[in-house]
Structure 1
Amino acid sequence: MRSDSQKSVFSDNFLLDNKAAEQLYFGFAEKIPIIDYHNHLEPDVIFNNQNFRSPTAIWLDGDHYKWRAMRNFGIEEHFISGAASDGEKFQKWAFVVPYTLRNPLFHWTHLELKNPFGIQHYLNSNNAENIYNQMQESLQTEAFRPQSIIKNFKVTTLCTTDDPADDLGYHKALKTSAFETQVLPAFRPDLYINIINPTEYLKSIKKLENVSGTSIQSTSDLLNALQNRINYFDEVGAKISDHGFEYFPDTTLWNSDLEKEYSEFLKGNKTAFSNPDALCGYLLKELCKMYAEKNWVQQFHIGATRNNNSLMLKNIGINAGYDAIGEQYFAQRMSLMLDELNSENKLAKSIIYNLNPVYNEVLASLAGNFNEAGVQSKVQLGAAWWFLDQLDGMEKHLNAISNIGLLSTFVGMLTDSRSLLSFSRHDYFRRLLCNMLGSEMERGLLPNDEQWVGKIIQDICYNNTKNYFEF
């Protein structure tokens, strides 16, 4: 441990503002492994284990956080998602980085340069070429192949996010390979229960028909096909489902007239379906019962308004950095569904990810209504998500859990990222957590008992996750 007199993001004691925080971090948090139970990594990239072509490929391609910052600074799209060379894109990003001051990207960027690249210089346009070349040289070595990067971060288990129609071939191949990290699929059926674009929805249904061997002409057929895929995912090792909603659907609206209309829609006799909300709510509740039977954990990501820029949606596609925090109120709808499932003894362990900080306390209090003997925090508020995944957002999130629930049973951090370099966010979270609890120890708000508080930190960062998901 080095207590730097001049602190920076590169310092050993970055974010650790007191002696107790340093002792907690270096004694309990720093070296324990990582379980990353929700991300968007690609299993084929992990299995194929090929060197990345350039720093831009591993660092900038598809990173909508960085893309948003570059657009905010007025960079031309040609250098963001366009046809500019890897070197040109990197140079533009380096030019913007000094101006990301106080945005979480400033810390994330330099934490990722420090680990795994060992670079401890603030990136800017003057040193961009040297840093690019240093990264490029590293990326050509064995130590910077995907599996080596994952091993470097001490990741024992990671869960990808997968279409129910996926054959999971790479997951099965990884399972029988020499790679020690457990790479498990997660079931994400949004395309099949939420009608946004009728034409695209019907294409998805056809894909599901083909892979499940089921003719889908009713909700019953659709649920049978999804059950088929849940069984398959379970066989491959899945333990988690995931759903993303702009708002939580109404689970009380479904009726026989809508069932008949939906069947006609599936048969091509209607060009649209009149009540997608009712359909989504009905299917969601039935899927949740299936998850409970498998003893899976179900995840709900709620509160984003997606693809707000229709012109750029047309030009680039989804997940390109044009999403925002939503303002839909959904707690009552969610509470009703959880209560119905609980009353039928079919409520799976559930994690609720909230994108609007206004609802942190609302959802933390909602989660506490559905506990069960023998299960710690069966329903809980998940990690600070997306726009809230920064120092202020994480602190508010941890305070909401602490004030209304039990921080000691929280299942901790995840990356929710498409980048192998984002595992550094676990360290970011751990430093913040140790500083928060260490500060309160020194102020007398918590016991001055390093072993006691340190054990709780290890639980939050690893043990709770392992036990909750039964990895």
Structure 2
Amino acid sequence: MPSPLRLHPDRLLPAEPGLRAIARELYAAVRELPILSPHGHVPAQLLVDDEPFRDPAALFVTPDHYVTRLLHADGVSLADLGVGRGPLTEPAARAVWRVLCERWPLFRGTPVRFWLDTELADIFGVTERPSAQNADALYDRVAERLAGADYRPRALFERFGIAFLATTDDPADDLAAHAALASDPTWTARVAPTFRPDRYLEPDRADWCKAVDHLGEVAGIETGDYAGYIAALEARRRYFVEHGAVSADHGHDDAVAEPLDARDAERIYRSAYAGQVTAAEALAFRRHMVVEMARMSCDDGLVMTLHPGSSRNHHAPSFHAYGPDTGSDIPRRTEYTTALRPLLERYGTHPGLHLVLFTLDETVWSRELAPLAGFYPSVYVGAPWWFLDAPDAITRFREAVTETAGFSRTSGFVDDTRAFCSIPARHDMARRLDAAYLARLVGEHRLDLDEALETAVDLVDGQPRRVFRL
């Protein structure tokens, strides 16, 4: 007999009855509010094409490194999960789905389990907990739903209540998909591109020269010298703004922003363009360009988000076989206070800059990020990201940041996901956890209920609008 899959209405709310009653009231105030997703990785083309999702494995398993990494840790090869194999045949997709169901207990206690339970139950009406015994039956049920018009991307987007969705895009992208959505009279939501220039700022990458040449081509500006390179980046940023972008995202190894004088920047650029840059020069140039990106944000208004601190592609054989974003990125310690001081001394009080700082190192929440956001009007603490977007970590985030920086110096929730169907589950989790935290403050007589209600709504709606200038 299969075990039932039930979503308790009070999941993630406090166990103590008095606090739970307060949390229920707070959660009820935000449960149905529209979703604002100012940073993520769902492609706009998915919504333009509006094609049915291919199969349950392609929706739930293969593209989601949150899922594949833990299955890989249990001894399943990434190839057997369909990673890097392109569209799967029906038997192959079914085999991938069986792996997920057979190893369902691996996800106990993880946020992935919360999201998958919510997706299966709320979106697809699944009432049985996945297992080896019911894997094929569940596959058939989900596949049947995916074949219907109500489960195409646009229909689900509307059902999820998404009002704003940001994608992540290469600066040389023509943004045709975004333009198509913007000009479609049947499309009412806002889907905005995000300027992600990392590959153009790191001259020790093997494809850097080719990339900056292409950037110059699409910008219509010669990038053979440093001045042209800067002008091309500025032109592409303007192009993104014209197509609705609100932010520029940066994900480098560290948070260091250290300006070079103009002669050194020009000299290193010439060396890089000639293919003769040293590792030290490339690092110095990238750190200089982070400062330049802040300057440009002051000019064009793009919110600057910084996501440092990931040791990317930790397992080189997996990277070479399957590509990036397949689960082998590992968090590491990151320093912000000294690293960002040159940038903040120049632009930290500039009215044009909004700088959202994310971290994978939770030790800096109270020690560095909250104090920085508690002084500099440009700085906001980004929501728990990636390995920290989990119930206990989100609660620790609120406890660590709020006492120094309050609620107004945080970003609002950011789902940062490639897994389309997990978006409402992730936002629901954050709303429940914030309701639980605020209920505790009310229960301890640190906030009145009306203040907690106002704050709960503001964290979902007002704060992301202000921070990301929506």
For 1:194 and 1:230, how far apart are their aligned partners in 2? 18
- TM, length-normalised to structure 2: 0.92
- Measured after TM superposition, the shift of residue 99 of structure 1 is 2.2
- Residue 34 (str. 1) matches residue 41 (str. 2): no
For 1:252 and 1:58, how far apart are their aligned partners in 2? 43
Tell me: CA distance 1:370–1:257, structure 2 relative to 1, closer, same or farther (3 Å).
closer
- Residue 70 (str. 1) matches residue 71 (str. 2): yes
What does residue 236 of structure 1 align with? 243
What does residue 109 of structure 1 align with? 116
For 1:264 and 1:19, how far apart are their aligned partners in 2? 64
Deviations 1:430-456 (A, max 9, x none): 011111212332343432x2x331121
Task: Provide the secondary structure at the position in 1 that maps to 2:251.
Answer: strand
- Residue 412 (str. 1) matches residue 416 (str. 2): no
For 1:439 and 1:417, how far apart are their aligned partners in 2? 29
Structure 1 segments of 4 or more deviating over 4 A? Answer: 271-274
What does residue 381 of structure 2 align with? 381
- Amino acid aligned to 2:192: L
- Residue 15 (str. 1) matches residue 15 (str. 2): no
- Measured after TM superposition, the shift of residue 357 of structure 1 is 0.8
Tell me: CA distance 1:249–1:439, structure 2 relative to 1, closer, same or farther (3 Å).
closer
- Measured after TM superposition, the shift of residue 386 of structure 1 is 0.3
For 2:290 and 2:336, how far apart are their aligned partners in 1? 15
Tell me: CA distance 1:264–1:325, structure 2 relative to 1, closer, same or farther (3 Å).
closer
Task: Provide the secondary structure at the position in 2 that maps to 1:166.
Answer: coil
Deviations 1:378-431 (A, max 9, x none): 411101000000011111111122111012553311210111112110001101
- Amino acid aligned to 1:142: A
Tell me: CA distance 1:254–1:125, structure 2 relative to 1, closer, same or farther (3 Å).
farther
Structure 2: gaps (5+ residues)? 15-19
- Amino acid aligned to 1:50: E
Task: Provide the secondary structure at the position in 1 that maps to 2:39.
Answer: coil
- Measured after TM superposition, the shift of residue 229 of structure 1 is 0.4
What does residue 120 of structure 1 align with? 127
For 2:12 and 2:265, how far apart are their aligned partners in 1? 55
What does residue 189 of structure 1 align with? 197
For 1:454 and 1:283, how far apart are their aligned partners in 2? 42
- Does the Cα contact within 8 Å between 2:313 and 2:329 map onto a contact in 1? yes
Identity value in percent: 26
For 2:444 and 2:127, how far apart are their aligned partners in 1? 33
For 1:273 and 1:355, how far apart are their aligned partners in 2? 25
- Does the Cα contact within 8 Å between 1:249 and 1:278 map onto a contact in 2? no
- Residue 158 (str. 1) matches residue 165 (str. 2): yes
Corresponding residue to 2:304 among 293, 298, 309: 298
What does residue 17 of structure 2 align with? none
Structure 1: gaps (5+ residues)? 1-6, 372-377
What does residue 458 of structure 2 align with? 459
- Does the Cα contact within 8 Å between 1:95 and 1:124 map onto a contact in 2? yes
Greater alpha carbon shift after TM alignment, 35-44 vs 59-68: 59-68
For 1:154 and 1:74, how far apart are their aligned partners in 2? 38
After superposition, residues 41-52 of structure 1 pair within 5 angstroms as 41-52=42-53
- Amino acid aligned to 1:427: D
For 1:224 and 1:191, how far apart are their aligned partners in 2? 17
- Does the Cα contact within 8 Å between 1:191 and 1:201 map onto a contact in 2? yes
- Residue 307 (str. 1) matches residue 306 (str. 2): no
RMSD between superposed Cα atoms in Å: 2.0
- Does the Cα contact within 8 Å between 1:223 and 1:283 map onto a contact in 2? no
For 1:406 and 1:8, how far apart are their aligned partners in 2? 37
What does residue 374 of structure 1 align with? none
